[in-house]
Chain A
Amino acid sequence: MMTITETGTDTKQFWLQERAALTGLPRGKGLNIAFEAVDRHVARRGEHIALRFRRKDRTSLDLTYSDLHRATNRFANALKRLGIGPSDVVATVLGRTPALFITAMGSLKNRSVFCPLFSAFGPEPIRERLRLGKARVVVTTEALYRKKIAPIIADLPDLRRVIYADGDFDGLLAAESDDFTIPPTSPEDPALLHFTSGTTGKPKGALHVHEAVVAHHATARLALDLRAEDRFWCTADPGWVTGTSYGIIAPLTHGVTTIVDEGEFDADRWYRLLQEEKVTVWYTAPTAVRMLMKAGREIVRNYDLSHLRFIASVGEPLNPQAVIWSNQVYGIPIHDNWWQTETGGIMIANIRGMEVRPGSMGRPLPGVEAAIVRHSDDRVEIISDPNVEGEIALRKGWPSMFRAYLGEEERYRKCFAGDWYLTGDLAKRDAGGYYWFVGRMDDVIKTSGHLIGPFEVESALLDHPAVAESAVIGKPDPVAGEIIKAFVALKPGFAASPELHDELLGFARKKLGAVVAPKEIAFLDALPKTGSEKIMRRLLKARELGLPEGDISTVKAS
């Protein structure tokens, strides 16, 4: 076993330098994400387009850095007037519209905590997250409110104000001043709350601090090759961490023009966007890449993608074929990278100027100390031999590391052993230092790049009067990576039927939303359990895949 040493001085030095490359609040008043992302650009490049929104009706709307500066100042003033203060949570349930970006930056200016929720979530995931986050304000639209929040509003005692982006939002801003001075902000002040899923229990609220911006800025330069004159498109929705760290914050800190697509995936439309907006750097996800591959190479010829300089992907491992395809069709490779909600920013990546090994997530970025480890209790054994499977661990100390799971100290503590953050992701490292993803240690499901906790889906199904037991797994899928499949056992008096299947499917979709609800539901007489009555998802998954069931000696006969 290797002994654990102090965090490398090189690593510390690296982050100090990166911190120094940012501006900091005037007169040494600290570090605030919104100042680095918006205010510091105003004097030098205020008229530069910060955000270009491509709307569903094909019109577009531009916000310059000065526009964004004023609007976010007004929003911060409005929050103050509403009595919303530091550390209060301001949530959004919004599509990728200007109000989302203004809310994000305005909340950070007010030192409130910004919590973006995916607008495709159904009422149940939204209720859970708004409750756990104790959100005081939610910004949404009237239609989303009616459909997703009105049914659960009685369960949200902490909520003080709902603001409609298509209603009173503009009026609120209009009543406020353009001037706002960001109060002194400690780099350790809470800033961002991202919910993520575990195998068991409730969603986890990963809390990030203002210092995270140091990592957002540095990693966007290193792993996305972002430079000030770029036209950047991140396809992720801000409801997921990628869409906030790299769809909102990082590109703004670099002063680039970010293209925001308010519509959904469509191969033609995407290529048209890349061409018309002259996108230079494109950050997307494996599911989207696989869909583009399905659309074929022919249609690519209809478009001029010559401005594209760098492509990166995240969300789940990118198939080697996709990297090769990209080389052939776009003339440049897709650079896969790896990180998590908890890490706040990219940790391991294929970067410019480095050989891309198709199928590998790349190598740790400067400032990131990664290792493959085995651990038991508080002991961590670093595996230094190449090509041995183990858990990816990251040495504490990078700025965008999550600082808490909101209200769950014990769960947070369990993520660390000594100086190491244990990621729960299994991988191998080759002799060249490249990491290769193997799988998750737990049962969370990666579907279309979204991390879904099986427990949340199982709980929703259990609310149906016919369901006695449920277990949810990720079933491999060539496009989505995995799709959500549910197994249910019925209560006495209920019989499996196509009608009940449809009823359960509709029931789950209404509660959870299409992205979280199962795509397949199967009836079983009983679910396999361990002696301690824990349902064995892994066994169900092995059966689904036709794999050997492994050691099932602890399985209770059912």
Chain B
Amino acid sequence: MNEQELREIVKRTLHRIAPEVDLDSIDGKTDLREEIDLDSMDLLNFFVALHEQLKVDIAETDYSRLTTLDGCVQYLREKTGAV
């Protein structure tokens, strides 16, 4: 899986939680909680959904690395060994 594919998976997962957001227009570096209005349960559901799709274990202590789109992709690249 390459970075582009990972990014698409992340966006698709976010879309299911916040379908009203145009994910192509958001800044990859801003906090998703503010940028697309995710509350703590949304964020938790997002991590669980990523875990289920990618079979990646996301430690609770890593959550802070996954609060931006770019951060998510970077983290998942490391975990999945994607290029």
A506–B44 CA distance with the chains assembled, in angstroms: 18
Closest chain B residue, CB of each to CB of A120: B39
Cβ of B32 to closest chain A Cβ, rounded Å: 11
Residue A268 CB within 8 A of the other chain: yes
State whether A295 and B44 are in contact (beta carbons under 8 Å apart), knowing that A507-B20, A509-B18, A509-B20 are contacts in the complex: no
Which residue of the partner chain, among A287, A295, A505, contacts B19 with CB atoms under 8 Å?
Answer: A505
Contacts of B38 in A (CB 8 A): 514
Residue B80 CB within 8 A of the other chain: no
Residue A448 CB within 8 A of the other chain: yes
Digitize A165-199: 1 where CB-to-B-CB distance is under 8 Å, 0 elsewhere.
Answer: 00000000000000000000000000000000000
A295–B21 CA distance with the chains assembled, in angstroms: 29
**Residue pair A509, B39 in contact (C-beta under 8 Å):** no
Cβ of B70 to closest chain A Cβ, rounded Å: 17
**Residue pair A502, B64 in contact (C-beta under 8 Å):** no
Residue B4 CB within 8 A of the other chain: no
Which residue of the partner chain, among A265, A299, A505, A510, contacts B40 with CB atoms under 8 Å?
Answer: A265
Cβ of B42 to closest chain A Cβ, rounded Å: 6
Count class of interface residues, chain A: 20 to 34
Digitize B1-45: 1 where CB-to-A-CB distance is under 8 Å, 0 elsewhere.
Answer: 000000000000001101111000000000101000111111011
**Residue pair A483, B41 in contact (C-beta under 8 Å):** yes
A378–B79 CA distance with the chains assembled, in angstroms: 64
Contacts of A296 in B (CB 8 A): 60
**Residue pair A294, B60 in contact (C-beta under 8 Å):** yes
Residue B61 CB within 8 A of the other chain: yes
Interface residues of A, Cβ cutoff 8 Å to B:
56, 120, 122, 264-269, 287, 291, 294-296, 299, 447-448, 477, 479-480, 483, 502-503, 505-507, 509-510, 513-515, 519
Interface residues of B, Cβ cutoff 8 Å to A:
15-16, 18-21, 31, 33, 37-42, 44-45, 60-61, 63-64
Task: List 20 other contacts, CB 8 Å, given A267-B63, A294-B60, A505-B20.
Answer: A56-B31, A120-B39, A266-B63, A266-B64, A267-B60, A267-B61, A291-B60, A295-B61, A447-B41, A479-B44, A503-B19, A505-B19, A506-B19, A506-B20, A507-B20, A509-B19, A514-B38, A514-B42, A519-B42, A519-B45
